[in-house]
A and B are shown apart, each in its own frame.
Chain A
Amino acid sequence: MPTEPHAVEKGTSLRKDAWRRLRKNRLAIAGAAIILVMIAVSLVTPWIAPYSYQAQDLELGAASPSREHWLGTDRLGRDLLTRLLYGGRVSLMVGFAATAVSLLVGVTYGAAAGFLGGRTDALMMRVVDILYALPFTLFVIILMVFFGRNIVLLFMAIGAVQWLTMARIVRAQVMSLRQQEFIEASIAMGFTKPRILFRHLIPNALGPIIVYTTLTIPNVMLIEAFLSFLGLGVQPPMSSWGLLIKEGVDTMEEYPWLLLFPSIVLSLTLFSLNFLGDGLRDALDPTSAKD
């Protein structure tokens, strides 16, 4: 293809440019670093966790932080640090998996609607409008109560309600790109529709997609934590940050550290992801950057 090398070269320079801008944003870089450390730690949790996540020490009960238990223990004598580590695995996994579901559905749907246009587009967007009116928190609660509280369903349910905005963003991008000459050129060259869609339209809409994805992850983690808090998400003895916060709330009067540490970890993660998302937006979309 005569167009290929040119496109690649252009893409690289844009990426370099964005990376240069992102690097200057210290908060975003710090956020990215924290997230990377958290991912790394969750990957090796089974090998570095000081105890088993369900190991109880009933005689010890709830103890404040000490040398044996750095962050203290809960009422059943379970090590809080260990439970935080395992909870992080669950929370991050739900965050990434549910976001992946919403990414896949949202990008495909939005791109298809924007690309096909006309009546198909109108119909597809009508469906999105209707789903927007669905009180989705209620919907997720119904799903979790009625279909059992397992983790796969949890991220399917969250992903299923999170793709709507993504679909709208991608559709708007594709519609504006479709008017441009390079798409006309590829139509004229007789490329198939899927090829134009996946090779030419979606890669060029990647900036907003990346930004919105980064901002979806903290949202999803919040929903997971919220569901676990209501007793609808992850079930004990497994652990997730939402569940730990709920357990902490139940005993916050006597053992405040059980509420404080999980709250700090969850908030820190959400902070990092949001700062990273903001930084990426400024880096990838210079027109919206602060001046």
Chain B
Amino acid sequence: MLRFLSKRILEFVPVLFVICTITFFLIRLAPGGPFDAEKSVTPEVRRNLEAHYHMDAPLAQQYWDYLIRLSHGDLGPSFKKESRSVNEWIALRFPVSLELGAYAILVALGVGLAAGVFASLKPNTWRDHMPMTLAMAGICIPNFVLGPLLVLLFSLQLHWLPVSGWTGPADKILPAFTLGASYAAYIARLSRGGMLEILTKDFIRTARAKGLSERVVVLRHALRGGLQPVVAFLGPALAGLLSGSFVVETIFQVPGLGREFVQAAFNRDYTMIMGTVLFYAALILVFNLLVDLALAWLDPRIRHAH
């Protein structure tokens, strides 16, 4: 187990290296630079700025310096927001995204699992069709449509919830629901499919034949296997939930890392872009690893294969 883990973690290094290289040269070779937007910059000031950030060195040299610094875990100073280093910006912004993502996961898992399992118990009846139609709606209504519509209804019409912000608990309801809705829909569909497959298996028939109540059959016996597709989906989904909330953070003005990244891209803040991409890539790798571990725990056959 330990060997498996350390092998997987060692595999992260080449992956991150490739991503680092692609991103570095992609943004450096693209036209434009971080100091283009500042119109007042005279050629001397510009030269000084570039010298300050070592941007006057040959590109290969800069790349090497970046790699050296990265190997110490240092993502460098932010080019545009000089008050903090990139590490500090991520440390400041990511917890906000993490909190939003955590609420969204709660919404997604709570609503999605309940709907999916409920639908699977009476397939092809109205108790199946109704939640599945809702799930389809959840997938087809993008979050940048859902969010504004919710604001229109609950904030501007009913005045129940604030339009935007990130201070009190009431601020967090609409963003969490907006972000979680489509994931809830996917989870509902996946858990329904997984449950339907498991419920036809022999061991379920055995459990029923033993005279166990339907509740015990579903919750104790079927759920564990039926949830496997959901767990496999959770890896990329978790990374997406924790990171991909650019739109939701923009709509509700949540000061998270997603919004920070979009601004950094617009500002061509090279180090911020690099730092955020690498951070997210590491996050995706870690979550995929966690998912593999969870799948092994759920399915003994995979567990013993290692």
Contact = CB atoms under 8 A, between A and B. Distances in A.
Interface of A: 129-130, 132-135, 137-139, 141-143, 145-147, 218, 222, 225-226, 229-230, 242, 245-246, 248-249, 252-253, 256, 259, 263, 266-267, 270-271, 274-275, 290
A134 B21 CA distance: 12
Given A252-B152, A271-B136, A134 B19 contact: yes
A239 B123 CA distance: 42
Contacts of B137: 267, 271
Contacts of A259: 148-149, 152
A138 B149 contact: no
Given A142-B26, A146-B268, 8 more contacts: A134-B22, A135-B280, A135-B281, A142-B23, A146-B26, A263-B145, A266-B142, A266-B145
Interface in B190-247: 196, 239-240, 243-244, 246-247
A290 to B, nearest CB: 7
Interface string B280-292: 1100110010000
A6 B108 CA distance: 50
B148 A249 contact: yes
Nearest to B140: A270
B37 interface: no
Contact of A138 (B123, B261, B288): B261
A147 B26 CA distance: 10
A157 to B, nearest CB: 11
Contacts of B27: 142, 146
Contacts, number: 112
Interface of B: 14-15, 18-19, 22-23, 26-27, 30-32, 123-124, 136-137, 139-142, 144-145, 148-149, 151-152, 156, 196, 239-240, 243-244, 246-247, 250-251, 261-262, 265-266, 268, 273, 276-277, 280-281, 284-285, 288
Contacts of B250: 230
B51 to A, nearest CB: 23
Contacts of B273: 142
A263 B30 contact: no
B19 A133 contact: yes
A249 B284 CA distance: 31
B243 A135 contact: yes
A134 B144 contact: no
B265 A226 contact: no
Contacts of B142: 222, 225-226, 266-267, 270
Across chains A and B, which 9 residue pairs bring their CB atoms closest together, nearest first?
A146-B30, A135-B280, A270-B140, A263-B145, A249-B148, A145-B265, A271-B140, A229-B144, A267-B141
6 contacts: A133-B284, A143-B26, A145-B268, A259-B148, A266-B145, A267-B141
Contact of B15 (A130, A138, A253): A130
Contacts of B148: 245, 248-249, 252, 259
A275 B145 CA distance: 20
Contacts of A218: 140
